[in-house]
């Protein structure tokens, strides 16, 4: 007779065990295959942690979102990721759930709800918030569970994410699998906190410490936690205590502890104890358990055999999945012709760049209810520190224009997660210098999500960011040009308008683009320039440069606020008898090499100008391409001109001299033309 | 299907291992889980188990150190 006062339905306990058996079979097969040299990949064993996802699997469905880490194979198995696809992924095969491009630390499988897997400690938490925003805004009752280790509690992203989830009452569960180790460092050596749940309490929401090795009490507690989050009562933090029995990475026992201590933890590990409980409670007999394990083993063996039949993902896949359209990938010798914008709406209004940006956002938000804005101070009355969102919160409400805490990782992560769920967020970062505190979310996550997931997921998000420089007095941390950081990160598109008309049209294209796009907005241009901007919706396509002035002796190639300096220089040069053509790139990735090369073919000379540091800047890249492609046809080698190699100075004298100006551009051109 | 045996990577820092001794003779039958050879690294010596049932074929002599990933045998 089955015991009835266990505190869990017998069938549930048996089902939890069934999942634990599948996880154990996967772990055993991987360790055996690795140690026999049957295959090779980096494995972060989760031996001892099986009970946590096995239990949760009985309380959620594939509709619920999950985010996890490199040490998350147990989470993937319990979430329902197809085992053949998972193994093939770990092996780097084309049959993998992510075409072998992400590997086991980057599984993304929306069909099972496993949305994002990150190898950056703690970085999944801000992204989970975004998934939760999407669920909440769409009125869905999905919960998002983000798994991370105890060590991750020390990193800023987790704090930022928890704080944001608290203030926005997001339906997210922060599930800290406390396996007592952050790599080789035990908990008491890296924090003085008595436990991790107190951190949630400090941020205004519930935090629980649970025994993650006991399926009975863990199930009971998680049932309540998941129900409350599903109801909309806001986030919950769970510290599920367990123990990492294996190495940080590789095969074998955890060697950071003594054999005796490890034996104590092995005795507390959930797998055998749950089995014993099923027998002592009379739920299963030994024979039944043998059958469950044998079935799990057979399932896993068949999956591995099938996965190994899949071929390694071939070289021909290299640039596929960087962007939705591989033609956007810059490639030597491949310079696609993209159509320009054509005729724009005739009716126009005088607008500053600020007004043009506001107008673009208004149009996008009116057309698509899934477009929303988030960032510091973006709500009304200020409508952003530069007023680019003025009136939008009043019109569209606080859920669609969301002022955030001062937490750039939380902002980008939330936008990213919401975009992975299919929304069209616009994240505003106040100054490009602050990319320094959220580059992980941009460069390691947003830029790579499509690629790492083999396009199973992608991130159609926009980041608008103000860029200082050229106005003076903002100093080294509010005036720099950071586009090279972005350009050197495959997977992110970058636009940098030089005028209000382009700003509006590029932003509308960016919001609709299937890939993450950063739009750099020059502070120098935001207010100073007024232009006749077409009313209504129109698009400036990404990857199409525009000729701002025709000329025959040299092509000045630039973007952003330096276009104006080039135009002024061209005026002066005309008086010196030098006819300069000015090309405004508008979009840096995708880049319009076709129009660049056409212009230089005609003029025979090129100077690329930017406010960013010259050394290793975009200018060097463009010059290299021009020199290689047009060698023999040039009157002189293509040259570049950017800022001197120094942080931006506070002294206005230095600042004015350290970046190109109309005057210094003229001097550089005259030297080249004489050459 | 034949299964290739290579020098395994047991830890991130491991780059080579010594095939100290073949426990099972060339051409002998093995079962999954049987110890087939002894692998020494700078940290430990361990007996490596057969990943499947079949006939073991040696492809590299014992007593030598090989890079991780080097093929040392197969099970057919
Ligand atoms: C931001 C970052 N710093 C360092 C690492 C290297 N690293 C990988 S795993 C790990 C330990 C993380 O410990 P914990 O968060 O407790 O998770 P566990 O590995 O125990 O699951 C570290 C430091 C990393 N991947 N990301």
Between CA A44 and CA B11 the distance in angstroms is 10
Tell me the C-alpha distance between A346 and A349, whole Å. Answer: 10
Mean confidence (pLDDT) of chain A = 97
Mutate to test the interface with B, among A37, A42, A298 (most CBs of B within 10 A): A37
Which of B51, B54, B71 is the mutation pick for testing A, counting most A CBs within 10 A? Answer: B51
Q: What percent of chain A has pLDDT over 70?
A: 99
pLDDT at B42 over 90: no
pLDDT at A471: 87
Burial of residue A526 (CB within 10 Å: 0-12, 13-18, 19+) is buried
Q: Residue B11: its pLDDT value, please? A: 82
What is the rounded average pLDDT of the residues A61-87? 98
Domains of chain B (ranges; CATH) run 3-75 (2.40.50.100)
Mean of pLDDT values over B5-16: 87
For residue A379 the two structure tokens come to: 């709500």
The string of pLDDT tens digits covering residues A93-115 is: 999 999 999 999 999 999 999 99
Q: Give the closest residue to A608 by CA, choosing from A594, A595, A590, A620.
A: A620
DSSP state of A334: B
SS3 A229: helix
Contact: B48, A249; criterion CB under 8 Å: no
Is the distance from CB of A176 to CB of A149 less than 8 angstroms? yes
- Of A509, A534, A559, the one marking the end of a domain is A534
In this complex, which of B1, B4, B48 lies closest to A35 when CB atoms are compared?
A: B48
User: Angle, to 10 degrees, between the axis of helix A562-575 and the axis of helix A662-674?
Assistant: 50
Q: Residue length, chain A?
A: 675
Residue A159: in which H helix or E strand, if any? helix A156-168
Per the document, the length of chain B is: 76
**pLDDT at residue B13, as a whole number:** 83
Q: What is the pTM of this model?
A: 0.95
Q: CA dist A245 to A259, A397, A619, B57, Å?
A: 11, 50, 52, 34
pLDDT of A36? 86
- The answer on pLDDT for A316 being more than 90 is yes
Indicate the SS3 state at residue A221.
helix
pLDDT for the residue B44: 79
Instruction: Please give the average per-residue pLDDT across A143-166, as a whole number.
Output: 98
B38, closest residue in chain A (CA to CA): A36
Q: How far apart are CA A625 and CA A618, in angstroms?
A: 11
The whole-number pLDDT of residue A387 equals: 96
Q: Say if residue A250 is in the same domain as residue A353.
A: no
Same domain, A523 and A626: no
Give chain B's count of helices (H) and strands (E).
0, 8
Write out pLDDT tens, residues A565-580: 999 999 999 999 999 9
Query: Cβ(A487)–Cβ(A494) under 8 Å?
Result: yes
pLDDT for B32 = 87
Alpha-carbon gap: B13 to the closest alpha carbon of chain A (Å): 9
User: Has residue A190 got a pLDDT over 80?
Assistant: yes
Q: Is A478 a catalytic residue?
A: yes
pLDDT at A1 over 60: no
Lowest mean pLDDT among A136-145, A344-353, B32-41: B32-41
CB A270 within 8 A of CB A48: yes
Q: What is the ipTM of this complex?
A: 0.79
Question: Residue A207: left (phi > 0), alpha (psi -120 to 50), or beta?
Answer: beta
* pLDDT (0 to 100) of residue A3: 60
CATH for A628: 3.40.50.920
Q: Is residue A102 part of a domain?
A: yes
Residues A496 and A486: their CA atoms lie apart, in Å, by: 12
User: Looking at the structure, do residues A483 and A619 belong to the same domain, yes or no?
Assistant: no
Q: Across residues A239-252, what is the average pLDDT?
A: 94
Q: What is the mean pLDDT of residues A214-222?
A: 98
pLDDT at A675 over 90: no
**Closest protein CA for atom 8 of ligand 1:** A121
Confirm if A409 and A162 have CB atoms less than 8 A apart. no
**Residues A433, A552 share a domain:** no
Confidence of residue B14 (pLDDT cuts 50, 70, 90): confident
Shared domain for A500 and A449, answered yes or no, is yes
Query: Are the C-beta atoms of residues A83 and A295 closer than 8 Å to each other?
Result: no
Question: Which strands make up the sheet holding B45-49, listed edge to edge?
Answer: B45-49, B35-40, B16-22, B64-67
> Is the omega angle on the peptide bond into residue A381 within 30 degrees of 0, that is, cis?
yes
Cβ proximity of A420 and A115 under 8 Å: yes
Q: Do B8 and A305 make contact, defined as CB atoms within 8 angstroms?
A: no
Pocket of ligand 1 (CB under 6 A): A 69, 71, 119-121, 148-152, 179, 181-183, 244
Rounded to the nearest 5°, which phi and psi values hold at A115?
A: -85, -45
Ligand 1 centre and the CA of A420: distance in Å? Answer: 24
> Does the pLDDT of residue B1 top 70, yes or no?
no
One domain, residues A553 and A499: no
Residue A227 has pLDDT above 90, yes or no: yes
- Please report where in the chains the tokens 């080579």 appear, as a residue: B16
Instruction: Kindly state whether residues A246 and A369 are assigned to the same domain.
Output: no
- CB atoms B6 and A37 under 8 Å: yes
Which domain covers residue A597, as residue numbers? 546-674
Give φ, ψ of A416 to 5 degrees.
-60, -50
Span A547-556, average pLDDT: 98
In this structure, the answer to whether residues A22 and A155 fall within a common structural domain is yes
For the cut 80, the answer to whether the pLDDT of residue A366 exceeds it is: yes
Tokens linked to B28: 């002998």
Q: Identify residues of A whose CB sits under 8 angstroms from chain B CBs.
A: 32-38, 40, 42, 247, 249-252, 305, 308
Q: Give the end of a domain, one of A308, A328, A363.
A: A308
Q: Do B6 and A250 touch (CB under 8 A)?
A: no
**Confidence at residue A4, expressed as pLDDT on a 0 to 100 scale:** 61
pLDDT of res. B9:
86
Domain tally for chain A?
3
**A289 and A253, same domain (yes or no):** yes
Between B14 and A241, where is the model more confident? Answer: A241
Closest to A557 in 3D by CA, of A499, A607, A614: A607
Instruction: Output the domain CATH number for residue A175.
Output: 3.40.50.970
Residues above pLDDT 90, as percent of chain A: 95
Q: Which two tokens stand for residue A575?
A: 């008086």
- Identify the CA nearest to A220 among candidates A64, A382, A16, A24: A16
């Amino acid at each position: 007779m089955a015991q009835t006062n266990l505190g869990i339905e017998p069938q549930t306990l048996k089902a939890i065990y069934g999942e634990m058996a599948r996880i154990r079979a996967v772990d055993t097969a991987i360790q055996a295959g690795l140690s026999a040299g049957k295959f090779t990949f980096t494995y972060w064993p989760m031996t001892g942690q099986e009970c946590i996802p096995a239990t949760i699997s009985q309380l959620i469905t594939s509709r619920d979102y999950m985010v996890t880490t490199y040490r998350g194979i147990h989470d993937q198995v319990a979430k329902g990721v197809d085992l053949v696809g998972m193994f093939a992924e770990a092996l780097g095969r084309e049959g993998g759930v992510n075409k072998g491009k992400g590997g086991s630390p980057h599984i993304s499988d929306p069909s099972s709800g496993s949305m994002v897997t990150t190898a950056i400690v703690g970085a999944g938490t801000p992204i989970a918030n975004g998934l939760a925003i999407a669920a909440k805004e769409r009125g869905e009752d999905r919960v998002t569970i983000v798994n991370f280790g105890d060590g991750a509690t020390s990193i800023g992203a987790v704090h930022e994410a928890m704080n944001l989830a608290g203030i926005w009452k997001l339906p997210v569960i922060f599930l800290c699998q406390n396996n007592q180790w952050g790599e080789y460092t035990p908990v008491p050596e890296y924090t003085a906190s008595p436990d991790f749940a107190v951190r949630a309490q400090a941020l205004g929401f519930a935090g629980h410490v649970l025994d993650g090795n006991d399926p009975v009490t863990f199930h009971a507690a998680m049932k309540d936690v998941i129900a409350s989050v599903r109801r909309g009562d806001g986030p919950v933090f769970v510290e599920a205590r367990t123990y990492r029995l294996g190495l940080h990475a590789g095969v074998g026992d955890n060697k950071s502890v003594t054999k005796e201590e490890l034996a104590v933890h092995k005795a507390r590990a959930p797998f055998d104890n749950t089995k014993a409980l099923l027998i002592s409670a009379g739920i299963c007999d030994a024979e039944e358990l043998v059958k469950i394990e044998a079935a799990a083993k057979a399932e896993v063996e068949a999956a591995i055999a099938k996965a190994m039949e899949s071929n390694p993902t071939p070289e021909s896949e290299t640039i596929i999945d960087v962007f939705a359209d591989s033609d956007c990938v810059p490639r030597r010798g491949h310079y696609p012709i993209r159509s320009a914008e054509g005729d724009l709406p005739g009716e126009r209004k005088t607008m500053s760049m600020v007004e043009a940006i506001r107008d673009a956002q208004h149009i996008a938000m009116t057309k698509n209810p899934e477009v929303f804005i988030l960032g510091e101070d973006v709500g009304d009355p200020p409508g952003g520190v530069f007023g680019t969102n003025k009136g939008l919160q009043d019109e569209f409400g606080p859920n669609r224009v969301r002022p955030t805490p001062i937490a750039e990782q939380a902002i980008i992560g939330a936008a990213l997660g919401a975009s992975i769920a299919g929304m069209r967020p616009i994240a505003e970062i106040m100054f490009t210098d602050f990319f320094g505190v959220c580059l992980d979310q941009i460069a390691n996550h947003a830029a790579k999500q499509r690629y790492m997931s083999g396009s199973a997921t992608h991130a159609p998000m926009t980041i608008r960011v103000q860029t200082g420089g050229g106005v003076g007095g903002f100093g080294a941390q509010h005036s720099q040009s950071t586009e090279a950081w972005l350009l050197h990160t495959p997977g992110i598109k970058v636009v940098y308008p030089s005028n209000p008309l382009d700003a509006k049209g590029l932003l509308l294209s960016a919001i609709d683009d299937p890939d993450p796009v950063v739009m750099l907005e020059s502070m120098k241009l935001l207010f100073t320039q007024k232009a006749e901007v077409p009313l209504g919706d129109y698009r400036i396509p990404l990857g199409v440069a525009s000729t701002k002035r025709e000329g025959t002796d040299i092509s000045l190639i630039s973007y952003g606020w330096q276009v104006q300096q080039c135009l002024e220089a061209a005026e002066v040069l005309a008086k010196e008898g030098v006819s300069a053509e000015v090309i405004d790139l508008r979009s840096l990735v995708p880049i319009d090499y076709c129009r660049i090369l056409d212009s230089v073919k005609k003029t025979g000379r090129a100077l690329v100008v930017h406010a960013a540091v010259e050394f290793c800047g975009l200018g060097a890249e463009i010059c290299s391409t021009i020199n290689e492609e047009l060698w023999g046809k040039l009157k002189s080698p293509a040259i570049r001109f950017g800022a001197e190699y120094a942080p931006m100075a506070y002294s206005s004298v230095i600042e004015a001299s350290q970046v190109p100006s109309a005057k210094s551009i003229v001097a550089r051109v005259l030297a080249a033309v004489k050459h | 299907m034949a299964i290739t045996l290579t020098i395994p990577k047991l830890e991130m820092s491991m780059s080579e291992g010594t095939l100290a001794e073949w426990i099972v003779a060339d051409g002998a039958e093995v079962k999954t889980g049987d110890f087939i050879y002894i692998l020494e690294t700078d940290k430990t010596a361990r007996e490596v188990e057969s990943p499947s049932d079949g006939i073991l074929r040696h492809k590299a002599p014992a007593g030598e150190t090989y890079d991780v990933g080097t093929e040392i045998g197969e099970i057919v």
